[in-house]
Every structure is written in C-alpha cells, then in structure tokens.
Amino acid sequence: MSEVNWSEEVLKRKEALLSDLNGLLEIESVLNEEDSTEEAPFGYKVREALDYMLRLGERDGYQTKDVHHVAGHLEFGDGEEAIGILCHVDVVPAGSGWTSPPFKPELREGKLYARGAIDDKGPTIAAYWAMNIVKELYPSLSKRVRMIVGTDEESSWRCVDTYFKQEEMPVMGFAPDAVFPIIYAEKGIADFEWHFPAVKTEQHDLVLKSFGAGERLNMVPDFASAVLIGEEKVLSELKTVFEEFVSQRHLSGNTSLDESLTIEIEGVSAHGSKPEQGNNAAFRLAEFLSGVGLDTGGTTYIDFITKWLTDDFKGEKLGVNCEDTITGDLTMNAGTFSYTALHGGKIGINLRYPVTCDFSEVKTQFDKVTGPEGITMNIIDHMTPHHVPEDHELIQRLQRVYEKQTGDVAELLSIGGGTYARSLDAGVAFGALFQGKPQMAHQKDEYVEVSDLLKAAAIYAEAIYELAK
Ligand SMILES: [Zn+2]
C-alpha cells in the first residue's frame, strides 16, 4: 500500500467524528455518589457515557466489554499482545459563568465549547476515530488495539483499579489525557499527616488555643488564623505587636480581641507541585508566634513549623532533599494545619519525589526528626513514581510519529503531577493539547480547537499503526 496520508484520512471522516463527539459531550457525566447503584456505581449519567462509547464500538465492529459498569474496552485485531489507549468519559462539574450551556456543545470560531471538550471527551473521540482509520486500512496487525474507557478519572480512579484487577495489562500504550508531545516521567506523590500529641495544660501567661490554615494538601494555604488566651493586658500588647508585624511585612492581617485574641493573616495560594510560587500563610503566622512565649504545647507545634518547614520547599532542613535529571527536585507542600491546646495538632503534607528517590528512605529520615518529639505519621495516599525509559520502543515510535506530523521536536516532559497514563505499566501521556495552547480543562468555557483535534486524531492514527503493526 502506498504511504497513508493520515490527515487526509481524518478529514474524510470529520463530520462523523464531530457528530460522535457532540453526542458524548451532551451527556452530563459528572460523578454522582448519591445516585450510585450497582448498575451505575458513579451515577446513571456516567454509566450513560460509558454505554455511549461501547455502543459506538458495537456499531463499528469492535469487541466490547463492560467491566462492572465502571470501565470498559473496545478492541480490534488478533495478536498475542495488545496496545492500550486509555481514555475517560467522566467530567468535572460545570461550575458557573459559561457563555453557552456546558452540556450543549457550541461551535464558535473554530472552537467547540463544552465541558469535557479537551478533558477528555474530545481526545477520546479523536483517538477512537484514529482507531477506526487504522482498523479500516490495516485490519490485521501484529497486535490487538484496545481502547480502555474509564469513568472515575476525575475522582479516585476506581475505574482503572477495578478494570486492571481482572483485565489484561497492555504491553504498552498511551493516554490522550494531557499535553503533547510526551510525558514520560511523573514524580511519586505522597500525602500524609503528622500528628502532634496533646500536651497537658499548664498555667501560662499566653496559651495557643488554636491554630489553623489550609483545606487541601495540594494547595498552598492563603489564609491562617490563631486564637490566643491570656491576661487582657498581654493580649492587647500582642495585638499591637502583630499589627506592626503585618504592616512591616506588607501582609494583610486581621485581629479581634475580646475574651481571647484572634489573629489572621493572608498569604498567596499556589498549586502544591509548585509551593515556591505561593506564600504560605501558616508559615507567616508561625513566624510571628515563634517569638511570643507560648505554652509548651503551642511552642512545640509552632517551633516545628519554623524550624523544619518554613519556606523550605525541597525538604532541605529535614534532610530529605533529592533530585535527578529525569524529574528534578523533591518538593514539599505543607497544605493543612490544625492545632488545639486540648487535642494536639496536625500538619498535612503533599510530597512529590523524583523517580530515582526511595520513599522509604525519606520516611526513615522524617522519623529521625519526628520520633523523639512523639510526632507520628499517617500516610493518606501514596502513588509511586512512574517512568518509561527514553529508549523504550513506545517512546521511540511516538516521538517519530509526532515529529514527522508536526515538524516539531518531540521533547520528553516530566511532571510533578499524576496523569492517567500511570495506570498503564508502560504508558505515557500523549496529547491532546498542543504546546502553547491555553489549558482549558476544568475551566468555565472549556473548549477544543477543532483543527487541533483533527491534527491529534491524525497523530493518534499513525501512532496506533506504528505501535501495533
Ligand atoms: Zn482528564
């Protein structure tokens, strides 16, 4: 067969592709736990989106399978091994402020607006039509081609967890659920809390009654507050000192004094993978409190913050800093703080560590510091790093296809976050957002540029062919 023009093949099928996409975008497939049944574990709309994909597969002659109504696959070809394309059809809630209704797709100036347009229904349908093209042009390849459709990517990945417990793991594959060119390495991510025991209350001039900041581990807290109790004179003096502190540092703060003194401070939020870009309000408030002469419990908690955590985003003070050329530095975000004199305290950490770093060594190092203080660690969630070596045939082939079709260098990207691709043993994130384009996932007025989507479909088609041939 003469050389296939993949873009042309996509263009021939443009109307059918867009029509399938429209139908999928119209389904409000937002997780609804209240609506959860055995038939529709994440709500009936999410189930409807899964069924929609399986029906497309039946229409076009794929082998399809529904896996406990939380995931499924469409497959063609026969061959010992399978390549995988991992997509998801659940979406985050629409939120407010949309120009056109989020579940009534609207085309304006070459952009298709709808919730899920870029994350991940548009890329899913692009990859689906890419499969259709390959299936039509090359019905027998050496590997099977399997699209795996998940329905819980936006929450807790119960879809892929369930799916891979019983279904085969493709030998390699990609997830069209992020950006081009290729994300080949993702840091390990650990969410944990340190628990500080309560200290027996003592008579003291100034007692830290409570301290709190932050709601999410993966965000830099932009607000912190503390309540202090003591003699009225002590508190009113402290109020003045705090107001000076806030103004000297050009921060925003608030105080209120009655039985107790409440002090509040504002910081700057940032994503937990880039804590250095924010200004952690809890660090600023602890900085103030560290010099004021608190009770023992309060002092232990505040000193821990200032001694080990404040403005150290790489874990250097705690001695856990490490880095490699693949994924860069370990990063640490102190995202949640809560303390009461009665019950003791907690500090919640979002830790992202490089692929060559050993988490158990990090933990041992933490324990050296926290153990003597009676501070215990509770791991909430832990994802090990994910990495496909540069010389793996998956990377080699995807790079070749991407460079051939776009004329750009297929740079390998590494990130601190986690993409869906890490649920594949040998998987990378591959598109569908092109470099330099605004990331509209999870935003109001989410859209996909139709010409980009067609471009992505052409890349996917050739990629599928190259991986499965
Ligand atoms: Zn996604």
User: pLDDT tens digit string along 364-393?
Assistant: 999 999 999 899 999 999 999 999 999 999
Asked whether the beta carbons of 341 and 298 are under 8 A apart, the reply is yes
Beta strands in 177-330 (DSSP E): 178-179, 182-186, 188-196, 206-213, 223-230, 253-257, 261-266, 323-324, 328-329
Structure tokens at 331: 């990063």
Does the pLDDT at position 1 exceed 80? no
**Higher per-residue pLDDT: 96 or 352:** 352
Q: What angle do CA 277, 283, 285 make, to 5 degrees?
A: 130
User: Which amino acid, residue 307?
Assistant: K
Counted residue by residue, the chain has a size of 469
Asked if the domains 6-186+386-468 and 189-383 are classified in one and the same CATH topology, the answer is: no
User: Percent of the chain, pLDDT > 70?
Assistant: 99
Distance CA 100, CA 102 (A): 6
Residue ranges per domain, the chain? 6-186+386-468, 189-383
CA of 177 to the centre of ligand 1 (A): 5
User: Percent of the chain, pLDDT > 90?
Assistant: 90
Beta strands in 365-462 (DSSP E): 376-383, 386-387, 412-415, 427-429, 432-433, 447-449
CA of 154 to the centre of ligand 1 (A): 7
pLDDT for 414: 92
Q: What angle do CA 463, 468, 469 make, to 5 degrees?
A: 100
Mean pLDDT of 131-160: 95
User: Which amino acid, residue 301?
Assistant: Y
Distance CA 153, CA 133 (A): 27
* Class level of CATH domain 6-186+386-468: alpha beta
**Band of residue 155 on the pLDDT scale cut at 50, 70, 90:** confident
Distance CA 1, CA 93 (A): 46
User: pLDDT tens digit string along 414-461?
Assistant: 988 789 999 999 999 999 999 999 999 988 999 999 999 999 999 999
* Class level of CATH domain 189-383: alpha beta
Site of tokens 């608030």: 254
Distance CA 378, CA 366 (A): 12
Asked whether the beta carbons of 281 and 338 are under 8 A apart, the reply is no
Does the pLDDT at position 181 exceed 90? yes
CA of 186 to the centre of ligand 1 (A): 15
Which stretches within 320-421 are classed as H helix? Answer: 359-370, 393-406
Site of tokens 């985003």: 313
CA of 51 to the centre of ligand 1 (A): 18
Structure tokens at 264: 């509040």
Structure tokens at 208: 């830290």
Site of tokens 């390495």: 185
Asked whether the beta carbons of 120 and 448 are under 8 A apart, the reply is no
User: pLDDT tens digit string along 4-59?
Assistant: 999 999 999 999 999 999 999 999 999 998 989 999 999 999 999 999 999 999 99
Q: Is the torsion defined by CA of 173, 179, 184, 186 positive or negative? A: negative
CA of 178 to the centre of ligand 1 (A): 7
CA of 244 to the centre of ligand 1 (A): 46
Q: Which residues surround ligand 1, an ion (CB under 5 A)?
A: 119-120, 177
Closest CA to 337 of 349, 327, 347, 351: 347
Using the 8-state DSSP alphabet, how is residue 142 labeled? S
**Residue 299: its H or E element:** helix 296-304
Name the 3-class secondary structure at 152.
coil
How far from 199 is each of 292, 306, 340, CA to CA, in Å? 18, 19, 10
CA of 87 to the centre of ligand 1 (A): 8
Mean pLDDT of 228-257: 95
Mean pLDDT of 235-257: 96
User: pLDDT tens digit string along 198-231?
Assistant: 988 678 889 999 999 998 898 999 999 999 999 9
Active site residues: 90, 153
User: Which amino acid, residue 210?
Assistant: S
Mean pLDDT, the chain, as a whole number? Answer: 95
Distance CA 332, CA 192 (A): 11
**Band of residue 2 on the pLDDT scale cut at 50, 70, 90:** low
Burial class (CB in 10 A: 0-12, 13-18, 19+), 146: buried
